[in-house]
Amino acid sequence: MNEPFAPWTDETATPLIRIEQVTKRFGDFTAIDDLSIDIFPREFFALLGPSGCGKTTLMRMLAGFETPSAGRVTIDGQDMGGVAPNRRPVNMMFQSYALFPHLTVWDNVGFGLKREGMAKDKLAACVDEMLKLTQLDALARRKPHQLSGGQRQRVALARSLAKAPKLLLLDEPLGALDKKLRQETQFELMDIQERTGTTFVIVTHDQEEAMTVASRVAVMNHGKLVQVDPPDQIYEQPNSVYVADFIGDVNLIPGRATQVGDMAELAWAEGQGTLLGQPGGGVKADTAASFAIRPEKIAIGREMPEARNRVQGKIIDIGYLGNLSTYHVKLPEGPVMTCEVGNRSRLSRRELTWEDDVWLSWSDTAGLVLPT
């Protein structure tokens, strides 16, 4: 079996990028707030967050278009302080693609190599290889305005990869594509990243995209990193209500943590039993906390279940999405819970309907108790 790719767990691994206590201020506004992170070679690292969270500023600092107000950025052991964008071993794929409209696809891709002063025949071979990698061979003589959105995206990728940078920055690379093309391109991007062995840092506000492509996802908010972990951990082990809520759908039941040990208990309403789950985010006993449970981990039924974690409520809404059905269940003394049930067989009659009293239940390890 293959060893999983996880250099961040290896004490001896040398990071490619070190961001050390970096702060960036624009006037009164602090875009990046005392942020430190190591990114390792061959990683596909996603910066994820709402707009204005500082993810683009962080990327532009790596590219050299912004200088940190405080702190240090090193790439491959070299301090990047005062190093101009054109002298960094970094290339960037711009959100608008920024393809030079007066140059052909071929010249766009060869632009960086030509600036490098590469010999003509070697340059041609390089460009042709890049065009082949991105399946653009047939379009080499076209100008950018003669291409579709997906083709432009590929030219931008080929151009930024042509100089074989140590680090490739991608600013919302798939933002301009429609959903179907975006999903295809995500896999293409991963494939290219693997084949070239380049370290990718991607900025996105699309959590699905980040989850799909990245080896690690950094969730940012207000210029700080909230959590940096592989996608499955981000989803299953969020360290805060913010991350749990930002990534995917989650039911949050507010209450008080009554007991915290290997497992944590949460009291959420008078006369109801406590909910049992794993403690997360350093939750302490006798503090305000929330119980976080993903909709797909909840079972729904008419009969009272055996499970310890069970709540009763009334169905107020049903959404049919084809592959699954969503039930909205109002708890008498709590929030509206969302519960997803996969529609596994094609021709089943729905047993539950509006206004039905139902039981929701989940296993002891399905939910998390997080501090609020």
Partner 1 sequence: MTCGCLGRIPQDWCCRHERARGFQPRAFIGRSAVKRAFTVIPYIWLLALFLVPFLIVLKISFSDIAIAIPPYTPTLELSEGWQGVRNFFGGLDFENFVFLTSDDLYWKAYLSSLQIAVVSTLITLAVGLPIAYAMARARDDWRPALLMLVILPFWTSFLIRVYAWMGILSNEGLLNQFLIWSGFITEPLVILNTNVAVYIGIVYTYLPFMILPIYASLERMDPSYVEAAEDLGCSRLSAFWIVTLPLARPGVIAGCFLVFIPAVGEFVIPSLLGGSSTLMIGKVLWEEFFSNRDWPVASAVAIILLLILVIPIILFQRQEVASRETEG
Which run of H or of E encompasses 362?
A: strand 357-362
107: exposed, middle or buried (C-beta count within 10 Å: 0-12, 13-18, 19+)?
middle
Where helices occur in 197-253 by DSSP H, the ranges are: 207-213, 231-236, 241-246
**Of these, 84, 119, 321, 347, which contacts partner 1 (CB under 8 A)?**
84
> Nearest distance from residue 346's CB to partner 1, in Å?
31
* Nearer CB in complex with partner 1: 113/247: 113
Q: How far apart are CA 298 and CA 356, in angstroms?
A: 17
**Of these, 42, 72, 142, 143, which contacts partner 1 (CB under 8 A)?**
143
Piece of the chain touching partner 1 by CB under 8 A; list 156-164, 236-244, 310-318, 340-348: 156-164
Which residues within the stretch 199-238 sit at the binding site for partner 1 (CB under 8 A)?
none
Is 163 a residue that touches partner 1 (CB under 8 A)? yes
Q: How far apart are CA 144 and CA 45, in angstroms?
A: 29
Is 58 a residue that touches partner 1 (CB under 8 A)? no
Q: How far apart are CA 216 and CA 317, in angstroms?
A: 36
**Of these, 145, 179, 195, 346, which contacts partner 1 (CB under 8 A)?**
145
Half-sphere exposure at residue 365, Cβ-oriented, CA atoms within 13 angstroms = 2
Strands (E), 156-250: 167-171, 199-204, 216-221, 224-229
Is 120 a residue that touches partner 1 (CB under 8 A)? no
Which residues within the stretch 251-290 sit at the binding site for partner 1 (CB under 8 A)?
none
Piece of the chain touching partner 1 by CB under 8 A; list 157-165, 233-241, 334-342, 343-351: 157-165
Contact partners, residue 98, CB within 8 Å, separation at least 6: 156
Contact 220, 53 (CB under 8 A): yes
Q: How far apart are CA 156 and CA 346, in angstroms?
A: 43
Is 26 a residue that touches partner 1 (CB under 8 A)? no
Of 283, 348, 354, whose CA–CA distance to 315 is shortest? 354
> Nearest distance from residue 94's CB to partner 1, in Å?
5
Is 159 a residue that touches partner 1 (CB under 8 A)? yes
Of 287, 310, 307, 299, whose CA–CA distance to 370 is shortest? 287
The DSSP symbol for 265 reads E
Which residues within the stretch 88-117 sit at the binding site for partner 1 (CB under 8 A)?
90-92, 94-96, 98, 100-102, 111-112, 115-116
Is 141 a residue that touches partner 1 (CB under 8 A)? no
Which residues within the stretch 27-56 sit at the binding site for partner 1 (CB under 8 A)?
none
Piece of the chain touching partner 1 by CB under 8 A; list 9-17, 31-39, 84-92, 350-358: 84-92
Q: How far apart are CA 209 and CA 173, in angstroms?
A: 10
**Of these, 2, 12, 86, 323, which contacts partner 1 (CB under 8 A)?**
86
> Nearest distance from residue 162's CB to partner 1, in Å?
8
Is 24 a residue that touches partner 1 (CB under 8 A)? no
> Nearest distance from residue 93's CB to partner 1, in Å?
9
> Nearest distance from residue 143's CB to partner 1, in Å?
7
Site residues (vs partner 1, CB under 8 A): 63, 65, 84-86, 90-92, 94-96, 98, 100-102, 111-112, 115-116, 143, 145, 159-160, 163
